[in-house]
Amino acid sequence: MKPTREQAKRRAFTIVELLTVMSIIVILIGLMVPALNKVRRYARDVQQKAQFNAINAAVELFNNEFDGYPPSNALDPTGAPYCGAMKLCEALMGQDLLGFHSNGVFRRDTLDATGQLTLYPPNIDAMTAVLRDNNLKARKGPFLQIENANAWQLEKIYGTNVGPYLGRTFVLCDVYSRQMNSGEKTGMPILYYRADTANSYHDPNRLPANPTAGQVDSGGNIYNYWDNQGLVALGKPWLSGGQSGGVSTTHKLADVARFYRNTRSEQIRTTERPLRADTFILVSAGWDGEYGTADDICNFEWRYRE
């Protein structure tokens, strides 16, 4: 028996009912999206801390092998710009990700201390079998699994804007990947600072002279602000030059006082002392990709101070 026209009308939804249901759905989505973003951000933070745990362990393996932590100063032995983040990657992975050469002296031109022998040949497979095997036997590591190292060349992160550095140089990146102007989706470089245990200060007013400007170091701080500032000065590679949507391309960690405030130990009251005063610190730009903000993740408890 066919339903009457009146019965068919009663079975259909009215416009008001449809709009009401759609409004409820929109409201629920609006409530869920922030919650989902918080969950996603928390998961990334946990992932970043796990990466730092792996890097901490890898640096200790390097320390045990070579009786010292990798250097982090802003220049290599020849005076060429080669910062802490780059030296960290070389120590743990080698400049070609095949392991650190036991004769390495952290020269960005890949040569040994004499400037004669190429430790990281651009095409190791083009070497004779004997030279290739000898080169690989001299390697230590990699101390991180290459699949988990998240190593990227600077040109893949910053495009052509690599400042005084070589675009082919590798750095370890954090897990907060985003689309860069280079066209690649990467995280930001992990900053590495080694403690100078011969020093005893932690004071921005005693800032060492800028080594990239040829000035003499007389600061005496345990951690040197300049170790990675050349890299920080490259800005935010997902933004265009100058301003983008009113957002500055300059990182807040460019402020020297902010660096020393946020790496200061709160437990020591009688003098200014840094956290991890006898080892090293790692700094990730965090969720927002900007160094020196409240969401930065470090291998210590980051207590953000403006």
Tell me the residue ranges of DSSP E strands in 51-148. Answer: 100-101, 139-140
Rounded average pLDDT over 137-147: 92
- Is a pLDDT exceeding 80 seen at residue 211? no
CA distance 300 to 133: 40
Query: 106-137 pLDDT, tens per residue?
Result: 999 999 999 999 999 999 999 999 999 999 99
Give the dihedral sign, CA 25/27/33/36: negative
Orientation angle between helical segments 84-93 and 15-66, nearest 10 degrees:
70
Query: 26-61 pLDDT, tens per residue?
Result: 777 776 666 666 678 888 999 999 999 999 999 999
CA distance 92 to 154: 17
- Is a pLDDT exceeding 80 seen at residue 3? no
- Is a pLDDT exceeding 70 seen at residue 5? no
Cβ distance 68 to 100 under 8 Å?
A: no
Query: 226-251 pLDDT, tens per residue?
Result: 999 999 999 999 987 544 455 678 99
Confidence of residue 185 (pLDDT cuts 50, 70, 90): very high
Q: Which residue has the higher pLDDT, 109 or 204?
A: 109
- Is a pLDDT exceeding 60 seen at residue 7? no
Cβ distance 267 to 285 under 8 Å?
A: no
Closest Cα to residue 223, out of 107, 73, 79? 73
291's tokens: 């160094």
- pLDDT at 10 (0 to 100): 57
279's tokens: 């080892």
Q: Which residue has the higher pLDDT, 272 or 306?
A: 272
Rounded average pLDDT over 58-74: 96
What is the four-CA torsion angle of 105, 110, 116, 118, rounded to 10 degrees?
120
Confidence of residue 12 (pLDDT cuts 50, 70, 90): low
Q: Residue 8: what residue type?
A: A
Per the prediction, the chain carries an average pLDDT of: 88
Query: 254-285 pLDDT, tens per residue?
Result: 999 999 999 999 888 888 899 999 999 999 99
- pLDDT at 2 (0 to 100): 56
- Is a pLDDT exceeding 60 seen at residue 305? yes
- pLDDT at 219 (0 to 100): 73
